[in-house]
C-alpha cells in the first residue's frame, strides 16, 4: 500500500536540492551509519528507562517477579508511597533531602580543597612528581576500601575519632557512626575520597593557562592572590564548573560509601537515596517502589544535567560567535 | 570524515540505493538479535552441564576451588554431567543473579540458598517443589538434620530446599576467665548470664560482646528473647505483625539493658558490627560472645585466646525466671543453614536432583566439612563430623533447640524494620539510657509496616489461588 501511495505521489526534483546533494551537504550524510550506535543506545538506555518507568507503575514484588509482565498495574501508588513512607522507615523524600544535602556539602568542601591542592603543585619544584602522585591516592583507592578504612578510623580509638577529638570536634563519647554524627562522618569520608577529582580537573585547567598571562601580571607587580583572582580563576571557571557538576552527580549517586560504612539498615541520617533504592528493591523486594525511587533520582539528576548541557551549549554558541 | 565522504560518493553513484541498503540493515538487525539471543543463552549452559550458584567462601578461597573441581570430576565420572560452580561475592550479588534468573527464566540449575532466604525464594514461585518421590530419590527426608527441614518450605508437601549445611548459633565463652572468676560453666538461664557477666566485668574487660550495629544480628536477639518469653513477632497464622507487643518491647529492652542497666557490655559496642564484636572477644576484652556459628573457629584459633575458649548453647530461660513461662519456647537459635534448591525453569531437573543427592551423601558432606568446617545437613554425616571434631558438639547440642523463623515472604521486611528500630535507638544508648515508650512507639510503627508486607503476601496468595 505504501509503495502504491508513493508511486502515485508526484515526484518533483528541486534543482537547488539536487545541487546541494552534489555538493554533499550535511543533511545528506549517510546517517544510517549511526544505526548500530543508535540501536545500542536504545537497548542500553532507552529500553531500560522505559522499563523502569513501566515497573514503577506496577505492584512488582517477590510474588509477581516471575511473571512480571502480568504484575498488577497500580498507577502512581508507588510514587505516593515513595514520597510519604516506606518499609524501611525513610521516605524517598527524606532520602532525597539527605542525598541533596550530602551532595551539595561534599562538593562545596571538596572544590576549594581540590583547587588549593592543584595550586600547590602547579609550579615546578623538587619532588613535585611525588607530591602529585600522593595526591592521587584517595582517587585511585577503590571506594569500598576507602569506606572500610574510614569506618575503622571513626570507631573508638580510630585515627579520625582521635584527631577530631584533639581539635575539639566531638569527644570520647562521640559515636561518629551513629545518629546525626553518621552524616558528618559520611561527608568527611567522601570529601577525602573526592577532592582529588577536583584537583585533577583544576590542575589540568591550570596547565592550559598561558604563561604570558602570569608574566604580564608579574610585570604589573600583582600579588599571588590577585593572580589567582584575576588570572587563574577566570580561566578555570569552565573546568571548575564542570568538575562541580560532575561532583554533585557523583556524590548524589554514591552508593558504595554509605553502604559499606554503615551496612543495612543504615542510620536514618545517612539513608541516602541510592541506599534506600537498594534496600527497597533487594532486601524487602518491592521492585516497583524501588523503580519509582530510581525515577525520582533520575528526575533530580536531570537538573544538574540540564545545567551542564545548557552551559555546554552556551559555550559552544559563544565559540561559534 | 573521509570515510563519510567516500560512502556518500558511492551512494550517489547508484540509481537504486534502497535495495542495496536493505541487506545491510537486515544484517545489522540480525547481528544485534543474534548477540542478544547468545547473551540470553550464556546462562543456560550446554545440555551436559549443570550450573550451580553458590556463595564464595572468602576464608577458604583456594580450598573451595579444589572442592568444586573434585565434585565436578567425580560427578562427571558417575553421571556424565559436568558441574559448573558460579560464585557470588555478596548478598547483593546473589540477589542480582537470582532475580535475573527468575525474570529471564534462565540461569543456574541449582541455587545454594541460606535458610532465612528460602521463604522469599519460595514466594517467587521460581523454585521446584520437591515431590515425595524426589525426596525418596534423595534418600528420604529422615536422612537430613530434622530441624533444618522446617525451613525447606511452608509445609512438608511444598518443600523446595534440601539441607546441605547446618549452622546453628551458639555462644562462645572464655574458659580461662570463667575459671578465674570461679564460674563452673556456661550460663543456663539469662539470669545466670547477667550474674556471670557482671562478675566477669571489670579492669577493662566486659562480660559480653555484642553487635547492635550489625546488619544481620539485631533481629535474632529480639526474636530469641521474644519467643522464650512466650511472644511472637508474627502470629502463628502469618496474618498479624506483633512487633508492637509487650513481649517484643521487653525483648528489645532486655538487650539494651545490657548497656544501660547491667553495664556488662563495652559502651563503645553500640557502634559495633559482628567483626568488631568478635574481635573484642578474640582479643580477650570480653568473656562471652553470643550469636556465633562454627565459621568463627578459624578466627578464634588464630587469636590471643586460642585454646582458652569453648562453645555452648545459648540460655533459653528468660531473665528473672527459673523455667519457661506459659507459651514460651526454648528457642536457643534460629534454624540456620544452607539449602540447595532447583530452579523451576531448569531443563535438567533430574540431573540436578542427582547432583543434590550426590552432594548430600555422607562422603561428600564430610569432604565439605573437612574443607569449610560446616556441620553437614545430612544427619549421619553430622554425627560423624562431631565425632571427628568434638568442638562441634556444642553446635549440635544447640540444634534441637533450633526454632524455625516464620515462613513468610515478609520476613525480609521484618529483618530490615527491626534493624531500623534498633538503629534509631542506638544514639540514646550512647548517653547511657533509652526511653522505653519511644522504643515501644518505634516497634509499633514498624509493626504497621510489616503488617503491610503480610497483607501483600495474603493478596498474592489469593491471586495465585
Across the A:B interface, residue pairs with CB atoms under 8 Å apart total 137
Half-sphere exposure of A94 (CA within 13 A, CB side): 16
Question: Cell for B271?
Answer: 557502634
- A14 falls within a domain: no
What is the nearest CA distance from B241 to chain A, expressed in angstroms? Answer: 13
Which DSSP letter does residue B325 get?
A: P
Share of chain B above pLDDT 70, in %: 90
Which residues from B are below 8 Å from A39, CB to CB? 28-29, 32
Q: Which is more confident, B451 or A30?
A: B451
- pLDDT at position A6: 41
Q: Which of B174, B199, B150, B186 is nearest to B280 (CA)?
A: B174
Residue where the block lists cell 557512626: A177
- pLDDT at position B457: 87
Which residues from A are below 8 Å from B12, CB to CB? 21-22
Q: Would you place residue A316 in the very low, low, confident or very high pLDDT band (cuts 50, 70, 90)?
A: low
Q: Would you place residue B461 in the very low, low, confident or very high pLDDT band (cuts 50, 70, 90)?
A: confident
- A107 falls within a domain: yes
Which residues from B are below 8 Å from A178, CB to CB? 213, 270-271, 423, 426-427, 430
- pLDDT at position B372: 86
DSSP for A256-279, written as a single string:
HHHHHHH-SSPPGGG--HHHHHHI
Residue A14 has pLDDT above 80, yes or no: no
- pLDDT at position B11: 36
- pLDDT at position B47: 80
- pLDDT at position A16: 53
Maximum alpha-carbon separation in chain A: 88
Residue B44 has pLDDT above 60, yes or no: no
Render pLDDT for A99-126 as a digit per residue (tens, 0 to 9). 999 999 999 999 999 999 999 998 889 9
- pLDDT at position B40: 44
Residue A169 has pLDDT above 60, yes or no: yes
Which residues from B are below 8 Å from A262, CB to CB? 213
Nearest by CB to A87, from B102, B123, B416: name it: B416
DSSP bridge partners of B110: B52, B342
Q: Which run of H or E residues covers position B403?
A: strand B402-403
- pLDDT at position B94: 84
Residue B267 has pLDDT above 50, yes or no: yes
The domain that holds A266 is classified in CATH as: 1.10.3720.10
Question: Cell for B313?
Answer: 548453647
- A192 falls within a domain: yes
Residue B255 has pLDDT above 90, yes or no: yes
Residue in A20, A66, A274 to test binding to B, most B beta-carbons within 10 Å: A66
Residue in A with minimal Cα distance to B462 = A63
- pLDDT at position B422: 95
Domain count, chain A: 1
- A125 falls within a domain: yes
Residue in B35, B214, B420, B463 to test binding to A, most A beta-carbons within 10 Å: B420
- pLDDT at position A5: 43
Q: Would you place residue A88 in the very low, low, confident or very high pLDDT band (cuts 50, 70, 90)?
A: low
Contact flag B213-A178 (C-beta cutoff 8 Å): yes
Among the ranges given (A21-30, A130-139, B344-353), the one the predictor scored with the smallest mean pLDDT: A21-30
Q: Would you place residue A308 in the very low, low, confident or very high pLDDT band (cuts 50, 70, 90)?
A: confident
3-state secondary structure of B395: helix
Nearest by CB to A178, from B4, B12, B426: name it: B426
Question: Cell for A47?
Answer: 529500553
Region B190-203 average pLDDT: 97
- A231 falls within a domain: yes
Q: Would you place residue A311 in the very low, low, confident or very high pLDDT band (cuts 50, 70, 90)?
A: confident
Residue B390 has pLDDT above 70, yes or no: yes
- pLDDT at position B379: 95
What's the ipTM?
0.80
Render pLDDT for B206-238 as a digit per residue (tens, 0 to 9). 999 999 999 889 999 999 999 999 999 999 999
- pLDDT at position A87: 52
Which DSSP letter does residue B237 get?
A: T
What is the nearest CA distance from B420 to chain A, expressed in angstroms? Answer: 6
Domain that includes residue A275, residue range: 50-315
Among the ranges given (A311-320, B109-118, B162-171), the one the predictor scored with the smallest mean pLDDT: A311-320
- pLDDT at position A86: 58
Region B152-179 average pLDDT: 96
Mean pLDDT of chain A: 86
Q: Which run of H or E residues covers position B376?
A: strand B375-376
Contact flag B420-A265 (C-beta cutoff 8 Å): yes
Query: In terms of residues, how long is chain A?
Result: 321
Q: Which run of H or E residues covers position A19?
A: helix A15-23
- A193 falls within a domain: yes
* Distance from C-alpha of A138 to C-alpha of A146, rounded to nearest angstrom: 8
Q: Which of A180, A197, A216 is nearest to A102 (CA)?
A: A180
Burial class (CB in 10 A: 0-12, 13-18, 19+), B383: middle
Q: Would you place residue B7 in the very low, low, confident or very high pLDDT band (cuts 50, 70, 90)?
A: very low
Contact flag A36-B28 (C-beta cutoff 8 Å): yes
Render pLDDT for A194-210 as a digit per residue (tens, 0 to 9). 999 999 999 999 999 99
- A40 falls within a domain: no
- pLDDT at position B441: 95
Render pLDDT for A177-186 as a digit per residue (tens, 0 to 9). 998 999 999 9
Q: Are B318 and B99 in contact (CB under 8 A)?
A: no
Q: Would you place residue B43 in the very low, low, confident or very high pLDDT band (cuts 50, 70, 90)?
A: very low
Alpha-carbon separation of residue A50 from A34, A36, A43, A181, B72 (angstroms): 22, 20, 10, 39, 42
Q: Are B293 and B336 in contact (CB under 8 A)?
A: yes
- pLDDT at position B459: 87
* Distance from C-alpha of B419 to C-alpha of B308, rounded to nearest angstrom: 33
Residue B16 has pLDDT above 70, yes or no: no
Nearby residues of A240 by Cβ (< 8 Å), 6 or more positions away: A111, A115, A198, A201, A202, A205, A233
Among the ranges given (A50-54, A64-68, A233-237, B350-354), the one the predictor scored with the smallest mean pLDDT: A64-68
- A26 falls within a domain: no
Alpha-carbon separation of residue B54 from A46, B395, B411 (angstroms): 33, 23, 22
What is the nearest CA distance from A271 to chain B, expressed in angstroms? Answer: 11
Residue B22's CB is within 10 A of a number of other CB atoms, namely 10
Q: Which is more confident, B18 or B22?
A: B22
Among the ranges given (A138-147, A308-317, B276-285), the one the predictor scored with the smallest mean pLDDT: A308-317
| Bond from prior residue into B407 cis (ω within 30 degrees of 0) | no
Which residues from B are below 8 Å from A36, CB to CB? 28, 32
DSSP for B408-452, written as a single string:
-TTHHHHHHHHHHHHHHHHHHHTTT---HHHHHHHHHHHHHHHHH
Render pLDDT for B64-113 as a digit per residue (tens, 0 to 9). 999 999 999 999 999 999 999 999 887 778 888 888 898 888 999 999 99
Amino acid at each position: 500500500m505504501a509503495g502504491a501511495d508513493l508511486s502515485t505521489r508526484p515526484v518533483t526534483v528541486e534543482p537547488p536540492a539536487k545541487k546541494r546533494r552534489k555538493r554533499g551537504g550535511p543533511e545528506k550524510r549517510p546517517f544510517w551509519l549511526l544505526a548500530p550506535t543508535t540501536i545500542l543506545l536504545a537497548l542500553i538506555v532507552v529500553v531500560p528507562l522505559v522499563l523502569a518507568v513501566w515497573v514503577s507503575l506496577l505492584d512488582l514484588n517477590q510474588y509477581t517477579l516471575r511473571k512480571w509482565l502480568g504484575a498488577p498495574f497500580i498507577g502512581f501508588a508507588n510514587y505516593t508511597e515513595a514520597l510519604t513512607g516506606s518499609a524501611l522507615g525513610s521516605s524517598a523524600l527524606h532520602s532525597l533531602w539527605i542525598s541533596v544535602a550530602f551532595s551539595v556539602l561534599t562538593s562545596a568542601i571538596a572544590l576549594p580543597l581540590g583547587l588549593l591542592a592543584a595550586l600547590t603543585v602547579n609550579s615546578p619544584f623538587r619532588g613535585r612528581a611525588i607530591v602529585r602522585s600522593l595526591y592521587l591516592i584517595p582517587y585511585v583507592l577503590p571506594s569500598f576500601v576507602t569506606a572500610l578504612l574510614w569506618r575503622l578510623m571513626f570507631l573508638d580509638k580510630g585515627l579520625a575519632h582521635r584527631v577530631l577529638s584533639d581539635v575539639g570536634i566531638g569527644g570520647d563519647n562521640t559515636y561518629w557512626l551513629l545518629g546525626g554524627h553518621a552524616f558528618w562522618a559520611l561527608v568527611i569520608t567522601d570529601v577525602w575520597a573526592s577532592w582529588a577529582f577536583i584537583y585533577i580537573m583544576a590542575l589540568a585547567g591550570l596547565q592550559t593557562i598561558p604563561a604570558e598571562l602570569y608574566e604580564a601580571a608579574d610585570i604589573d607587580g600583582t600579588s599571588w592572590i590577585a593572580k589567582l583572582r584575576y588570572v587563574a580563576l577566570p580561566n578555570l571557571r569552565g573546568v571548575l564548573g564542570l568538575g562541580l557538576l560532575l561532583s554533585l552527580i557523583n556524590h548524589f549517586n554514591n552508593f558504595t560509601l554509605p553502604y559499606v560504612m554503615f551496612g543495612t539498615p543504615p542510620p536514618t541520617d545517612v539513608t541516602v537515596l541510592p541506599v534506600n533504592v537498594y534496600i527497597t528493591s533487594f532486601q524487602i523486594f518491592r521492585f516497583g517502589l524501588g523503580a519509582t525511587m530510581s525515577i525520582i533520582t533520575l528526575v533530580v539528576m536531570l537538573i544538574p544535567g540540564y545545567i551542564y548541557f545548557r552551559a555546554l551549549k552556551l559555550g559552544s554558541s559563544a565559540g561559534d560567535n | 570524515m573521509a570515510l563519510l565522504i567516500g560512502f556518500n560518493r558511492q551512494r550517489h553513484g547508484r540509481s537504486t540505493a534502497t535495495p542495496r541498503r536493505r541487506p545491510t540493515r537486515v544484517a545489522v538487525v540480525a547481528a544485534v538479535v543474534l548477540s542478544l539471543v547468545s547473551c540470553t543463552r550464556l546462562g543456560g549452559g550446554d545440555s551436559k552441564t549443570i550450573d550451580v550458584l553458590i556463595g564464595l567462601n572468602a576464608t577458604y578461597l583456594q580450598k573451595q576451588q579444589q572442592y568444586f573441581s573434585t565434585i565436578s570430576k567425580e560427578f562427571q565420572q558417575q553421571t556424565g554431567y559436568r558441574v559448573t560452580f558460579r560464585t557470588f561475592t555478596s548478598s547483593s550479588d546473589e540477589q542480582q543473579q537470582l532475580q535475573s534468573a527468575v525474570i529471564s527464566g534462565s540461569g543456574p540449575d541449582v541455587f545454594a540458598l541460606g535458610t532465612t532466604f528460602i521463604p522469599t525464594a519460595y514466594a517467587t514461585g521460581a523454585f521446584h517443589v520437591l515431590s515425595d518421590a524426589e525426596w525418596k530419590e534423595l534418600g528420604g527426608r529422615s536422612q537430613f538434620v530434622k530441624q533444618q527441614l522446617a525451613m525447606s518450605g511452608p509445609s512438608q508437601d511444598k518443600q523446595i530446599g534440601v539441607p546441605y549445611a547446618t549452622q546453628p548459633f551458639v555462644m562462645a565463652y572464655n574458659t580461662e576467665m570463667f575459671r578465674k572468676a570461679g564460674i563452673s560453666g556456661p550460663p543456663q538461664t539469662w539470669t545466670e548470664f547477667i550474674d556471670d557477666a557482671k562478675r566477669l566485668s571489670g579492669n577493662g574487660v566486659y562480660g559480653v560482646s555484642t553487635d547492635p550495629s550489625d546488619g544481620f544480628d539485631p533481629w535474632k536477639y529480639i526474636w530469641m528473647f521474644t519467643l522464650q518469653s512466650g511472644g511472637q513477632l508474627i502470629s502463628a497464622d502469618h496474618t498479624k505483625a506483633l512487633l508492637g507487643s509487650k513481649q517484643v518491647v521487653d525483648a528489645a529492652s532486655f538487650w539494651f539493658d545490657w548497656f544501660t542497666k547491667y553495664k556488662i557490655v563495652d559502651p563503645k559496642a553500640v557502634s559495633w558490627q559482628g567483626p568488631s564484636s568478635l574481635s573484642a572477644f578474640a582479643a580477650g576484652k570480653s568473656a562471652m560472645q553470643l550469636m556465633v556459628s562454627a565459621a568463627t573457629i578459624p578466627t578464634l584459633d588464630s587469636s590471643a585466646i586460642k585454646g582458652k575458649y569453648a562453645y555452648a548453647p545459648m540460655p533459653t530461660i528468660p531473665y528473672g525466671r527459673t523455667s519457661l513461662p506459659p507459651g514460651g519456647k526454648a528457642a536457643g537459635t534460629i534454624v540456620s543453614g544452607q539449602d540447595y534448591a532447583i530452579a523451576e525453569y531448569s531443563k535438567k531437573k533430574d540431573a540436578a536432583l542427582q547432583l543434590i543427592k550426590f552432594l548430600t551423601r555422607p562422603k561428600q558432606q564430610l569432604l565439605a566439612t573437612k574443607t569449610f568446617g560446616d556441620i553437614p545437613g545430612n544427619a549421619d554425616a553430622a554425627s560423624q563430623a562431631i565425632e571427628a571434631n568434638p568442638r562441634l558438639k556444642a553446635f549440635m547440642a544447640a540444634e534441637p533447640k533450633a526454632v524455625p523463623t516464620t515462613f513468610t515472604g515478609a520476613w525480609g521486611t521484618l529483618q530490615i524494620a527491626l534493624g531500623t528500630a534498633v538503629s534509631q535507638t542506638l544514639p540514646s544508648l550512647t548517653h547511657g539510657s533509652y526511653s522505653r515508650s519511644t522504643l515501644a512507639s518505634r516497634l509499633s510503627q514498624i509493626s504497621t509496616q510489616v503488617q503491610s508486607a503480610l497483607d501483600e503476601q495474603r493478596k498474592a496468595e489469593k491471586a495465585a489461588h
